[in-house]
Amino acid sequence: MSSPVFRLHNTLSNRIEPVEPLEPGKLRFYSCGPTVYSYAHIGNFRTFLTADLIVRTAREIGLETHYVSNITDVGHLTEDDVADSGGEDRMALALSSKEGKRFANVWDLARFYANELLRDWSRLNMIEPDVRPRATEHIAQQIRTVEALIDSGHAYETDSGVYFSVDAFKDYGRLSGNISGDNLSETTRELVVDDEKRNVRDFALWKKDPKHLMQWYSPWGWGFPGWHLECSVMALEYLGEQIDIHGGGEDLIFPHHECEIAQAESYSGKQFARYWVHTRFLQVEGEKMAKSKGNFLTVHELVSDAASGGRGINPMALRLSLISGHYRKPYNFTFDTLRANLKHIERLEQSLDVARNAPSGTSDVAARITAASERLLAAMLDDLNTPEAIAALLDGIKTILTCKDGISDEDRSAAQQFLSRVDSVLGIINEEGSDSPESSEEDDEFAATIEEMLDRRQRARASRDFALADSIRNEIEEMGVEVMDSPDGAKWKRITSIQGIDAGE
């Protein structure tokens, strides 16, 4: 048996290619992380989830995967065209916003949102990178790299900073197809105005700016590093001069990744990354997600409980929603599909219960469950075809649920193997996190009230006073709780709803 082949779309070739690591059996993977100037939104997380699925799938087939993802905690500029004359710094902007007023300084703000990122990351049951480097902790390395690029003739200093010379790197533009500078039309805003730049396309490696809120001392005076530099430097530091896969959002193809290639390859003289994987932006309810449209959704808001102003969504359902579209296609995130995914997660939990606790029986579905399991992995190996994988997931769950009244030993074992694969590859089973809403005293009181009402209802049913029983149930439902009668008595659970969307239902 040959080992399974993992195929991914490579932006460099615009083709789906088998992933063949430089060093057989060992995968070096770098995924671009966010700038932490606010809560990360679901679009950010769609990209991070693509990385997460790459790691999970690679490990499932036994590739020893070294996974690095950074945190950008330097405030880069919102507009390059005004950068030289004092453009705005993202962090500084966030600091002066209403929300940012509570932070003492940009360092504090970056620290806060970096912590929140990690919190959202773990809520979505995402794999922690082996190394999670921060830009501000790699300034010295960045300065050394700039010096090396100047020494080798790939960069030069001007009054405003140090620029990378695009003319000194022949492959510039290969990744994005932006080969010439001429294709920038009048619809594009003007490029950086700096008479000392040798080519308008040259980009900054170091900005001189003694007024910047975050600044460091360098051979070129006080200032801060260019945005593209940090990822190249940190990838080189933790993964070596040549990595296998480099990923990020589609917007990073140009200029960020194009510039990374230029810097890293000029520095090392070797091909930097062999596979480039990019995630398409998602839309919300059919529209581009934008703060101005009011459809800017953060993971923080969606999964926080209602009491603290969130929408109280099960993080696993959110995770499933965000991976339910193919990563290279525009995905339309809607509350309708989120609601469907809440049901899927409930059924998944039921299937776990069946696999563990269903009584012994004579079911005969092991072959079907195993087929679903194989189909699931095969779909993921085929350029992360998550919609197909989820179809296999649902088929497996459905099959397992048919065994709830009795399951054979063979089927139980197949079911457990299936669920274990679902756990490791899709990451939508998070049992530690699932009962996360810390059981507070309020919850205990609430439960006691419901139990008491159910007792009264049970007595009414016993005396066949169904009208009373039903009216009690209606009362319970108005409290947001669903009642389910079963052979071992009535069970209840909170009705899954999305705060702010299902209000009044």
Residue 172 CB, nearest approach to RNA (Å)? 9
What percent of the chain is helix, strand and coil (3-state, nearest 5)? 50, 15, 35
* Segment 121 to 180, residues that bind RNA, using CB under 7 A: 166, 176-178
Going by their DSSP bridges, the two strands 331-333 and 273-279 should be labelled as unpaired
* Interaction mask 19-58, RNA, x per CB under 7 A: -------------x-xx-----x-xx-xx-----------
Q: How far is the CB of 6 from RNA (least distance, A)?
A: 16
Pick the stretch among 124-132, 247-255, 436-444, 448-456 that binds RNA (CB under 7 A): 247-255
395 interacts with RNA by CB under 7 A:
yes
Contact 163, 204 (CB under 8 A): yes
Q: What is the DSSP string of 70-116?
A: -BB-S--BS-GGGGGGTPPBHHHHHHHSTGGGG-SSHHHHHHHHHHH
CB of 25 to RNA, least distance (A): 28
Task: Give me the least distance between CB of 296 and RNA, in Å please.
Answer: 9
Minimum gap (Å) between residue 231 Cβ and RNA: 10
Please tell me the distance from the alpha carbon of residue 189 to that of residue 265, in angstroms, as a whole number: 29
Q: Which of 90, 246, 319, 368: binder of RNA (CB under 7 A)?
A: 90
What token pair was written down for 312? 């109280």
Size of the site for RNA (CB under 7 A): 95
Footprint on residues 420-459 left by RNA (CB under 7 A): none
Residues numbered 291 to 330 that lie near RNA (CB under 7 A) are 324-326, 328-330
Which residue is it, tokens 């960020």?
A: 256
Binding to RNA (CB under 7 A): which residues in 5-24?
A: 14
d(CA 49, CA 52): 5
Judged by CB under 7 A, the residue of 248, 312, 315, 427 near RNA is: 248
Q: Which of 117, 273, 348, 469 binds RNA (CB under 7 A)?
A: 469
353 binds RNA (CB under 7 A): no
Taking CB under 7 A as the binding criterion, the range among 196-204, 308-316, 438-446, 497-505 that sits at the site for RNA is 196-204
In three-state secondary structure terms, 211 is coil
CA 310 → CA 14, 21, 239, 342, distances in Å?
40, 42, 38, 16
Residue 79 or 137 with smaller CB distance to RNA:
79
Q: Write down the least CB distance from residue 338 to RNA, Å.
A: 9
Residue 187 DSSP symbol: T
Q: In what order do the strands lie in the sheet with 331-333?
A: 287-288, 282-284, 331-333
The minimum distance between CB 194 and RNA, in angstroms, equals 11
Which residue, 182 or 432, is less far from RNA as judged by CB?
182
Choose between 21 and 341: whose C-beta lies nearer to RNA.
341
Candidates 356-364, 392-400, 415-423, 433-441: pick the segment binding RNA (CB under 7 A): 392-400
What does DSSP assign to residue 293? G
Pick the binder of RNA from 185, 292, 357, 362 (CB under 7 A): 185
- Torsional class of 290: left (φ above 0), alpha (ψ -120 to 50), beta (otherwise): beta
One of 281, 310, 434, 500 touching RNA (CB under 7 A):
281
Q: What is the footprint of RNA within residues 201-240 (CB under 7 A)?
A: 201-204, 207, 226-228
Residue of the chain from 62, 153, 181, 406 that contacts RNA (CB under 7 A) = 181
Q: Nearest-CA neighbor of 150 among 137, 134, 161?
A: 161
The string over 383-393, giving b where at least 16 C-beta atoms fall within 10 Å of a residue's C-beta and e elsewhere, is bbbbebbbebb
In the list 131, 193, 253, 378, the residue contacting RNA (rule: CB under 7 A) is 253
Helix (H, G, I), strand (E, B) or coil at 235: helix
Instruction: Quickly list DSSP for 411-452.
Output: HHHHHHHHHHHIIIII----HHHHT-S---HHHHHHHHHHHH
Nearer to RNA, 57 or 385 (CB): 385
For residues 324 and 386, the answer to whether their CB atoms sit within 8 Å is yes
We find the least distance from the C-beta atom of residue 101 to RNA, in angstroms, to be 21
User: Minimal distance in Å, beta carbon 102 to RNA?
Assistant: 21
Distance (Å, rounded) from C-alpha 30 to C-alpha 396?
A: 33
24 or 294: CB nearest RNA:
294
Question: Which residues does residue 491 pair with via DSSP β-bridges, in sequence order?
Answer: 484
Least gap, CB of 326 to RNA (angstroms): 3
Nearer to RNA, 46 or 66 (CB): 46
Residues near 438 by Cβ (< 8 Å), separated by ≥ 6?
none
Residue 344 interacts with RNA (CB under 7 A)? yes
